[in-house]
């Protein structure tokens, strides 16, 4: 009789794995600076890794701030449009991802419940690149926009 719970657990893990496998965001993405557009002094996310974390997705971001100092932040959640904690980012404390279609995701960063940045992530048809367009305000209230292009590793 104990086989049923084990089989159910295995089946749920298989279904979750299938969901992650069909998510084109999964994997490691490296910034292609030549194709990207940043305002002067803007932070740059150089490497972004999407991986499975149980039934959620973990996003790990390494980059540099406007002065060239290393940065690191992490987010674990679901692509359901709900806010989940973001650690390591001085400009935001939550992030929400919302799947729009198979290749498009929206993101929203908040600090203290207030939206500080919104963006769109679009995966190319061949799955080899992704473009992240973000607009928002910096910590001093100045509007900013950037377009980052990443290559799949």
Give the list of residues 6+ apart from residue 89 with CB closer than 8 angstroms, or none.
Answer: 71, 73, 109
**103-139 residue pLDDT tens:** 999 999 999 999 999 999 999 999 999 999 999 987 6
Domain interval for residue 136? 3-152
Number of independent structural domains in the chain: 1
For the domain that residue 52 is a member of, what is the CATH number? 2.40.128.20
Please, how many CA atoms are within 13 Å of residue 74, restricted to the half-sphere of its CB?
A: 7
Q: Is 3 helix (H, G, I), strand (E, B) or coil?
A: helix
6-20, 21-35, 50-64, 86-100: range with lowest mean pLDDT: 6-20
Phi, psi for residue 5 in degrees, rounded to 5? -60, -35
**How many whole angstroms separate alpha carbon 15 and alpha carbon 108?**
27
């Amino acid at each position: 009789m104990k086989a049923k719970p084990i089989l159910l657990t295995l089946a749920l893990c298989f279904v979750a794995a299938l969901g992650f496998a069909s998510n084109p965001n999964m994997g490691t993405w490296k910034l292609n600076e030549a194709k990207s557009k940043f305002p002067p002094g803007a932070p740059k996310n150089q490497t972004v890794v999407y991986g499975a974390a149980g039934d959620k997705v973990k996003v790990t971001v390494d980059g540099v701030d406007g002065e060239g100092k290393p940065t690191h932040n992490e987010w674990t959640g679901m692509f359901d449009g709900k806010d989940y904690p973001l650690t390591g980012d001085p400009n935001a404390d939550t992030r929400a991802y919302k799947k729009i279609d198979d290749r498009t995701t929206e993101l929203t960063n908040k600090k203290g419940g207030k939206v500080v940045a919104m963006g769109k992530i679009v995966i190319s048809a061949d799955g080899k690149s992704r473009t992240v367009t973000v607009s928002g305000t910096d910590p001093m209230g100045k509007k900013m926009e950037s377009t980052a292009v990443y290559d799949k590793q």
